[in-house]
Chains A and B, each alone.
Chain A
Amino acid sequence: GAGVSQSPRYKVAKRGQDVALRCDPISGHVSLFWYQQALGQGPEFLTYFQNEAQLDKSGLPSDRFFAERPEGSVSTLKIQRTQQEDSAVYLCASSPLSGDSYNEQFFGPGTRLTVL
């Protein structure tokens, strides 16, 4: 079956530009996570959705970052007024579980964002 997909795979933005990154999770998966992986680091948690509800956004680095999942399936991560420090790989993961067990997460290939 289809896995998690993300688009675009690569994005180059000029500093100050707004970007939108899309995640299509596995159909029927309840949980959706966004992670940010900066160069030389491991993925770091940004935000978590259970269906359409954003239950945790504690990892979002600033108020320029905004995520939504309005119908409980596709999610969009938006970054306003991009800065060079936003350059990273943005990973999306989905899980069939609703938080009562360990997180078996299925990852997309990521979007590599480069801010010039």
Chain B
Amino acid sequence: ILNVEQSPQSLHVQEGDSTNFTCSFPSSNFYALHWYRWETAKSPEALFVMTLNGDEKKKGRISATLNTKEGYSYLYIKGSQPEDSATYLCARDSGGGADGLTFGKGTHLIIQP
């Protein structure tokens, strides 16, 4: 893996169903992995920052896991609601501040009532 890759690109999920999607990233020079939720016409909102292999984080119905050795993270949404409709971005952080974040293209999630 040379770049940050997210799959699927888009996803339609029925309200109430659970779903998950993937972020793959280069495992070398890893410092942290960020997940953002970006709703149309709003600012990207930070969901999680994950740094340690095996990290699991949870915020309400949303959770994420991290595997730094194989270079992937999963984001899970339990019992999807219409307000979960958004683009979910992951970004690899190589630390040091100046490099910025390297983003994937995002997963566009649409929750159908």
Residues of B within 8 A of A (CB): 4, 6, 31-32, 34, 36, 41-46, 49, 51, 89, 91, 93, 95-106
Which partner residue on chain B sits nearest A33 by CB separation? B100
Q: How far is the CA of A99 from the CA of B93 in the complex (A)?
A: 11
- Interface SS majority for chain B: loop
A27 is an interface residue with CB less than 8 A from chain B = no
In the complex, the number of residue pairs spanning A and B with C-beta atoms less than 8 Å apart equals 76
Chain A residues whose CB sits within 8 angstroms of the CB of B45 once the complex forms: 107
Q: How far is the CA of A50 from the CA of B32 in the complex (A)?
A: 20
A residues 16-70 near B (Cβ < 8 Å) are 31, 33, 35, 40-45, 48, 50, 55-56, 59
Contact between chains at B100 and A103 (CB < 8 Å): yes
CB distance from B38 to the nearest CB of A (A): 8
